[in-house]
Structure 1
Amino acid sequence: MNLVRKPARSLAVAAVAVSLVSAAACSSTKSGGSDTGSSGGKVTIGLVTKTNSNPYFVRLRASAQAEAKRKGAHLVALAGKFDGDNQGQVDAINNLVAQHVNGILITPSSSKGVLGAIAAARSRGILVIALDTATDPADAVDATFATDNEAAGVTEGKYVHAALGSAAPNVLLLDGTPGSSVDDLRHDGFLQGFGITAKAPAVKGTAVTNGDQTKAQTAMENLLQRDPGANAVYTINEPAAAGAAQALAGKPAAGKVVIGSIDGSCTGVRNVRSGRFAATVMQFPTKMATMGVDAVVTYAASKAKPSGFVNTGSQLITDKAVAGVPSKDTAWGLKNCWG
């Protein structure tokens, strides 16, 4: 399982009552079948993402839809209204349980906040797989298909540190959403890879961005006012990196600040090619979604369940390679990117 931590398993999971919520509670996309969830006898799969707007989750949803269609399954896709909308995701799970789905694929906004709803779903014989983001504890779901997020953070940190060369580091940290295992693992991994701690003098500021470009830009502007000498930036994802780059646009420091990120979208790779970011760590959401759909279809046919953590891989993308950190260039990145 590489560098991914195994959260404590002492947390008691309380089951919650299952209730059908209105369609207005969360956005929905269906790939065939009826609105009642009967789906004409097809295998029915629920997908719950953090949002419908982040390009990463747009691609994950589209990939799940394509694989469900290829397998002759029925997909019901729901999402929170924003990154961190735990109640929206709980409502979505309850909705899917009421529709008698065979399996639920979820990217939890809160690694602990959805545990009760997941427990209720599993008690009814529904297979639950976490995609992209692990629950806490990890065994609250049947399996997790995701990037090794701590390893991705370590790669980002190693690269950003090496790219600074002999310059004394002045680091800003643009985090995602508190309570998300992805946020914690990438943040901690970055610090480990960079070779510092959160309280090190080199860390000049930290801000929550929810992985949103506008919030990240505002956060970066505020941090730069307090410490204009920043020369290295950790970002939770590429929208946050784009916000950081926009905050630097037109400033004397622009082009001298090493911005690292994680995602691997085609837009992100183009930002690396243009020099807005120094590097990004590519993830493979299509692989996650395809494996998740296939697992539910297999479960519906044979009751065979996947288990544990499955690392779907990652790859550093940069046109400025550094010694000791394996990478691919943006030409490779544009052939393998998503979005």
Structure 2
Amino acid sequence: MKLRGVAALSALALGLAACGSGTEAGGGGGDITIGLAVSTLDNPYFVALKQGAEKAAAELGVRLTVVDAQNDATNQVNQVQTFTTQGVRAIIINPVDSKQAGPAAKAAENATIPLVAVDRSVDDGKVASEVASDNVQGGTLAAIELGRATTGEVVHLQGIPGASASRDRGRGFEQGLNSGGIKVVASQPADFNRAKGLDVMTNLAQANPGIKGVFADNDEMALGAIKALGDRAGKDVQVVGFDGTPDGLKAIEEGTLAATIAQQPDVLGRKAVEQAVKAAKKEPVQEVVDVEVKVVTKKNLAEFKK
């Protein structure tokens, strides 16, 4: 590698260090650097997504630089803008907020750097490829499964309001409600966070003492809800989550979580890197990449435990 290439990569590392936590993975080959802007690494789901991306980067011989927005949409825009000034060949964004990711997409477009969205969409901006689970289908499956597990009044713990995953899972959940005898009596955001899920569920349970079920837009909030419900969880109140995280699977095994809709975050990360590398090389990319979701219950739990 030429000296000026080394200098450019050194500048990249220094510049990103000021924007968030950064890690690099690569096979040491090629001259392609991909930037990955993750919404938060304070969530095992996104840690798995990052690990899948890092493994793909290593196998493809490209350099991957990861930054953590810590669920701050403004911080994430700044991180993407920094990427555009540091010579990356493609950018992958896992938006904190799909609506607020527009300026990040515009910055990439202005710099003629291809942008790949992963797990969540970008509402207003140009992307070369979108890699995501079918969250609408997942929400529908969650409603069907909750309807199988219980009947009566249920509550819905929503994710970050501006995130496409929250909107799509909520839309799918509403579509699936007619499949069973459940009725939503309260919905409230808990921002995909376990501690907030605990707080919100505590308040909702007090306001709605007769509830029989909970759907949470991710396993972290579901686990918070389980803690708030105490001995009621898995007995007179059934909880369904989303993601299929190790802690979620453990809760299914213990009987406190009735089901979760398993995504494949490592596959999402891998496919996002694959599309980003193709875009960086100006090769044809797949505009939409769908990754399958599956219902996990105690019956098929063994298939998902690693």
What is the TM-score normalised by the length of structure 2? Answer: 0.89
The 8 Å contact of residues 53 and 269 in structure 2, kept in 1 or not, is answered as yes
Counterparts of residues 1-339 of structure 1 (less than 5 Å): 23-31=17-25, 42-82=31-71, 85-137=72-124, 140-164=126-150, 168-195=151-178, 202-251=183-232, 255-301=235-281, 303-319=282-298, 329-335=300-306
The 8 Å contact of residues 234 and 255 in structure 2, kept in 1 or not, is answered as no
In 2: Cα distance, 1:115 partner to 1:132 partner: 16
Return closer, same or farther for 1:299/1:202 CA change in 2, 3 Å cut-off. closer
Return closer, same or farther for 1:248/1:254 CA change in 2, 3 Å cut-off. farther
* DSSP-derived class of the 1:173 partner: strand
The 8 Å contact of residues 270 and 330 in structure 1, kept in 2 or not, is answered as no
Cα RMSD of the aligned pairs, angstroms, is: 2.2
Give the AA of the match of 2:225. A
Give the AA of the match of 2:295. L
How much has 1:260 moved relative to structure 2? 0.8
The 8 Å contact of residues 32 and 74 in structure 1, kept in 2 or not, is answered as yes
* DSSP-derived class of the 2:295 partner: strand
Q: Show structure 2 runs of 5+ residues with no match.
A: 1-13
What is the TM-score normalised by the length of structure 1? Answer: 0.81
How much has 1:120 moved relative to structure 2? 2.2
How much has 1:295 moved relative to structure 2? 1.9
Give the AA of the match of 2:283. A
Return closer, same or farther for 1:254/1:262 CA change in 2, 3 Å cut-off. closer
How much has 1:178 moved relative to structure 2? 1.0
In 2: Cα distance, 1:44 partner to 1:112 partner: 27
In 2: Cα distance, 1:254 partner to 1:269 partner: 14
In 2: Cα distance, 1:80 partner to 1:300 partner: 23
Paired-residue identity, %? 32
In 2: Cα distance, 1:315 partner to 1:149 partner: 11
In 1: Cα distance, 2:93 partner to 2:279 partner: 16
In 2: Cα distance, 1:56 partner to 1:210 partner: 14
In 1: Cα distance, 2:157 partner to 2:139 partner: 13
In 2: Cα distance, 1:40 partner to 1:203 partner: 53
Count, aligned residues: 292
In 2: Cα distance, 1:54 partner to 1:305 partner: 32
In 2: Cα distance, 1:276 partner to 1:305 partner: 46
Give the AA of the match of 2:287. G
Give the AA of the match of 2:38. T
* DSSP-derived class of the 1:100 partner: coil
* DSSP-derived class of the 1:316 partner: strand
More helix by share: 2
The 8 Å contact of residues 169 and 202 in structure 1, kept in 2 or not, is answered as yes
In 2: Cα distance, 1:30 partner to 1:95 partner: 16
The 8 Å contact of residues 101 and 123 in structure 2, kept in 1 or not, is answered as no
In 2: Cα distance, 1:305 partner to 1:225 partner: 54
How much has 1:205 moved relative to structure 2? 1.6
Identify the residue that residue 10 of structure 2 maps to in structure 1: none
How much has 1:266 moved relative to structure 2? 2.1
In 2: Cα distance, 1:68 partner to 1:98 partner: 21
The 8 Å contact of residues 152 and 281 in structure 1, kept in 2 or not, is answered as yes
1:103-157 Cα distance to aligned partner (Å, 9 max, x none): 11111111121212212212322111110001114x6311111101010000001
1:241-289 Cα distance to aligned partner (Å, 9 max, x none): 00010011134x6522111111012221121121111001110111111
Identify the residue that residue 36 of structure 1 maps to in structure 2: none
The 8 Å contact of residues 248 and 254 in structure 1, kept in 2 or not, is answered as no
Return closer, same or farther for 1:170/1:62 CA change in 2, 3 Å cut-off. same
* DSSP-derived class of the 1:250 partner: helix
In 1: Cα distance, 2:26 partner to 2:266 partner: 20
Return closer, same or farther for 1:21/1:195 CA change in 2, 3 Å cut-off. farther
The 8 Å contact of residues 35 and 90 in structure 2, kept in 1 or not, is answered as yes
In 1: Cα distance, 2:46 partner to 2:105 partner: 20
